[in-house]
Amino acid sequence: MHRPSVRRVRPRSILFVGFAAAVALLMPTTSYADPQEEELSLEELNERADALEEEYDAELREYTDAKDAVTKADKALEDVEEELEKARGNVAELAAAQYKGTGLDPTVEVVISSDPEEMLDNAATVGHLSHSNGERVSMLTDLKSDRADAAEKADAKLKDAKELIEDLEEQRDEVKEKIDKYEAEEVPETSGNGTVPESAKGWGFGGATPRMAAIRDEIIGKFGAPYPVGCLRPGDSGEHGSGRACDFMMSNNGGHPSAENQALGRQIADYAQANADRLGVMYIIWEQKIWSANNPGAGWKPMEDRGSVTQNHYDHVHISSY
């Protein structure tokens, strides 16, 4: 009995078209603005920030935060680019293997070249290999998208830092006038009797400058102090190091404050903001946001996540003075 021949059809064209798309993914990533390009150089911004140091008298806390954000975004971009290169290598090897000879992956070719009766038995294997290769290509696609997002984020963070420096430079003369005014005044006119309970006196309490001490005592007199208030911290690079800042604690041991103390912290922050000009408040930090008297129109600006309740200022209101 004559047995009809069975024509084996290799889905080469389909695989080739699909793989052509994968090969396209190996092409260089679409260029985005390089965060380190000349007109947007972090090094240049650092130099400009250093030049502002005297006028702002260490009030570059916002820029320090912005600079950290740029560094973090750049590191994220480097990491995703490294993963992208690895994925490109994997897919390049797969492309080379499938293009040789029949244009199929060698392992897949062995399976498809078997007898027709065995094809069904090996269908699961073919499906598995196809799925595995698909995952490689899918990973490369995702990484290219991640790279684009990371590049755009790094560029945006650097632009934010540049805009901040430009704002500080524009306000330079006004800030210098404020500094001269408050230094000459030394102690603001405050309300309250200046009596502070011993329970409110925390670390470095007595080391606050006359201005910061007056601000501190007025706030304690008006709102009380559920936990000790800390001020001077020798060796600190910011205002704590000179006694021009105090932390009004709303909880203990780095924990989140109660709802009542959270509301109290907001009241203190709002009060310091509303009376900044009279008291000589330079900036306030509360709940991972900063308000600066040198740029009051910007309002409360979000800060980078520094990793803990205390470092993000959720457990205390930080007030710095001129």
At 107, is the pLDDT very low, low, confident or very high (cuts 50, 70, 90)? very low
Whether this prediction's pTM lies above 0.85 is answered by: no
At 93, is the pLDDT very low, low, confident or very high (cuts 50, 70, 90)? low
When divided into structural domains, the chain yields a total of 2
**Residue 19 belongs to what domain range?**
12-170
Which of the two residues, 197 and 38, has the higher pLDDT score? 197
Which of the two residues, 264 and 101, has the higher pLDDT score? 264
Q: For residues 163 and 49, give the distance between their C-alpha atoms in angstroms, rounded to a whole number.
A: 12
Residue 273: inside a domain: yes
Q: For residue range 289-301, what is the model confidence (pLDDT) as tens digits?
A: 999 888 888 899 9
Q: What is the pLDDT at residue 276?
A: 94
Residue 281: inside a domain: yes
Question: Same structural domain for residues 287 and 204?
Answer: yes
Kindly tell me if the per-residue pLDDT of 99 is higher than 60: no
Residue 251: inside a domain: yes
| Percent over 90 (pLDDT), the chain | 34
Q: Which residues are CB-neighbours of 237 under 8 A, at least 6 positions away? A: 58
Residue 3: inside a domain: no
Question: Same structural domain for residues 44 and 78?
Answer: yes
Averaged pLDDT, 45-53: 77
Residue 94: inside a domain: yes
Residue 138: inside a domain: yes
Residue 2: inside a domain: no
Cα-based angle 240, 243, 248 (whole degrees, multiple of 5): 65
The residue among 170, 195, 228 that closes a domain is: 170
